[in-house]
Amino acid sequence: MKAAIVREIGISPVYGEFEEPTAAAGEVRVEVAASSLSNLTRGRASGAHYSFAAKPPFIPGVDGVGRVDTGERIYFFMPRAPFGGMAERTVVKSDHTVPIPDALDDATAAALPNAGMASWIALVERAKFVVGETVLVNGATGIPGRLAVQIAKHLGAKRVIATGRNTMALAELATVGADATIPLTGDWDADQKAFEQHFAAGVDVVLDFLWGQSARHLLGAAANTGQGEVPLRFVHIGGASGPEISLPGSVLRSSAIQLMGSGLGSVAIERILVSIRELLAAAVPAGLQIATLVLALEEVERGWSDTASMQRIVFRMN
């Protein structure tokens, strides 16, 4: 069968022939229609992500959309290595599949779960979000952050505050639900003062896609404003600005900040799949928007090299 194949760690996948998968007990074979290129897929394929240790050759792709032998159209998550989503066929545990609403097209159904579940799981499973709360999305101008604004609003946030470096993209977030925006200027003293103004008015949940200096100063701002007297759930989701921060212990000792992470390992797979089912069911009624660039699978090398696109790349199998 045709597939994208990682032949060497650190080298982009190539288009070629790979062995056909055979479903084992408890698995289903999927005729794949589409699979998206997410940061998780990139990280696992490069050997950089903590959740994956397969040896080449293998097929990348943590998820996708396709049909099982009964004809049902499903979303699938975490195929069995060495098989992945970026192939004509794959195999996955039967309970790692979710039915797709008829009104949702293949490209959107493939692109939405990985980008959207980051914030859905962080809000529902980790932060235990309550309708009417205020959510701050740190790093809202990327694909997952933009979806986080929409999802927070859909789930009932009273107010959504968005931060980001790209001022043009930041301004556009008002059209998808952001009530206020904070440009990240890199002048951290000034940025922290801007954070403090919003924390003084009250923030219940922070969804952090950046980590690094912005996270450090958000936590400092929360502790400095008396926000610390009210529990703030700070959920770390991604590290686009760096893997580490230097945080004075006094920030946590002097506040009621609850610092937690959200990712593979922090939430059971079963709960992740529940969240994906809820997300897919909400996509059309909530009007969730995710820009996609659909490429044929044979264009995998072109798509893989595009690391700056503001569209989620989706590979179609035929």
pLDDT score, position 254 = 84
Write the CA distances from 3 to 14, 57, 263, 313, integer angstroms.
8, 11, 27, 16
Q: What share of the chain is helix, strand, coil (3-state, %, to 5)?
A: 35, 25, 40
d(CA 50, CA 42): 12
List of the chain residues with pLDDT < 70: 47-53, 227-230
What's the pLDDT score for residue 100? Answer: 97
* pLDDT of res. 50: 64
Residues of the chain with CATH 3.40.50.720: 115-261
Domain 115-261 has CATH 3.30.450.20: no
Q: Does residue 82 have a cis bond before it (omega within 30 degrees)? A: yes
Cis omega (within 30 of 0) for bond into 57: yes
pTM of the model: 0.92
Domain 2-100+289-316 has CATH 3.10.20.600: no
Kind of pairing, strands 232-236 and 2-5?
unpaired
Half-sphere exposure of 254 (CA within 13 A, CB side): 14
Q: CATH 3.90.180.10: which residues of the chain?
A: 2-100+289-316
* DSSP conformational letter for 79: P
